[in-house]
Amino acid sequence: MKKYNPKEGRVILHVDMNSFFASVEIADDPSLRGKPLAIAGDAKQRKGIIVTCSYEARKLGVKTTMQLWEAKRICPDLVVRQPNHERYRLVSREIFHVLRKYSDLVEPASIDEGYVDITECQELGSPIQIARMIQKELIQSLNLPCSIGIAPNKFLAKMASDMKKPMGITILRKRDIPAVLWPLPVIEMHGIGEKTAAKLEKIQIKTIKDLAHANELQLRSVLGIRGSRLKERANGVDRRKVDPEAAAVNKSIGSSVTLPKDTTYQAELFAVLEKLSEKVAARLKRKEYVTKNVAVMIRYKNRETITRSRMLDRTIVEAEDIFEAAKSLFLKNWNGQPVRLLGITGQDLIKSDHAIEQLSLFTYEEEVKKEPLKQAINHIQKKYGPSMLQTGAEAFKSDKKKDP
């Protein structure tokens, strides 16, 4: 172990379950093994989005987020199962129970992936030996395959685990970065999605090497402080520790306000909720979190205070989505008495780059429909000012200011 990782470096594993939902279904029903299998929305109505699929299905052209009818056209023999989220959560707990047998330093990153710091686990064997033991136990105890990346930090371990699937084990050292990582398109780097890649391409950053050597001021002008962090990652720098408490703490982000006067006027209360939603959304984005649980606090004139929360079907971060969830909670729980204070909190937070949204046809299509409208509104507001286009609540507030 010390020979592998000299001085005071770390040895980090990233354990990534292969096609997790599909693998769980196969483990429960062995007759599915070897067949093209997809996990999707409403299979009976031939509606839904492919959440994940087996490697047999992928070889035939089926992809995640593809509409089910299209996947069926490409692969007529495709077997479809609807998601069983409760089952997946239970299996996830069993997976992390196995990982904690090898090290106390285990950090879940999502339902089907996590980091394991094995720096002090020399007595178990070499990093490769430990990775093989983990793979073997997950297969024997749960019948689930995984890929494992071995590296001196979390970022490189994550990149390594993606390199050989299914059932791969990959070592990625810092000295390997120029030959292994730098030639890759920037969109293949962990933490970079299509929107970020498009922004980087506008400043001629097309590969991970381009990002590693990019001008930091230029990066900050395009991506803010996140640009500097991405450049560090491209150079193999990641100082984050494997933190077992990170998932357990489940931080929350919220905002509240005492109203200038107690009111029962619903439009005013909605306007306050919308403004609070914008603040919560901005803080979530700044700290790079998404939320799957929205809470609303209502304090009445007599100082009685209630807090109600709602678990959502998907992760959200946009102000309009937070507002819709908060408004629904408010209407369901407001007793009609004068309100003195309102608050909104995002709970059960997940880091943006680890969030996995299980898309149904509805959520996928709704997001696709919203995107052109969002882009058009942003363009008009940038060109003509933020007051050119307003939401209903914003317009209401403007009208209130004009009233004598």
**Residue 399, annotated as binding a ligand:** no
DSSP 58-96: HHTT--TT-BHHHHHHH-TT-EEE---HHHHHHHHHHHH
Phi then psi dihedrals of residue 205, to 5 deg: -105, 105
Q: Among this protein's residues, is 288 annotated catalytic?
A: no
Chain centre distance of CA 372: 22
Q: Is 381 buried (19+), middle (13-18) or exposed (0-12) by CB count in 10 A?
A: middle
DSSP per-residue codes, 160-174: HHTSSTTT-EEE--G
104 is in an annotated binding site: no
Nearest alpha carbon to residue 253 among 312, 306, 294, 309: 294
Distance, CA of 128 to CA of 149 (rounded, Å) = 10
If you ran DSSP here, which 8-state letter would residue 338 be given? P
Q: For the packed helices 85-99 and 20-28, what is the interaxial angle rounded to 10 degrees?
A: 100
Among residues 25, 107, 113, 268, the one annotated as catalytic is: 113
Contacts of 182 (CB under 8 A, 6+ apart): 207, 208, 209, 212, 234
CA pair distance 48, 362, nearest whole angstrom: 8
CB neighbour list of residue 21: distance below 8 Å, 6 or more residues apart: 39, 51, 52, 83, 88
Rounded to the nearest 10 degrees, the angle between the axes of helix 127-142 and helix 85-99 is 140
Binding site, annotated residues: 16, 112
Binding site, annotated residues for Mg(2+): 16, 112
Residues identified as active-site: 113
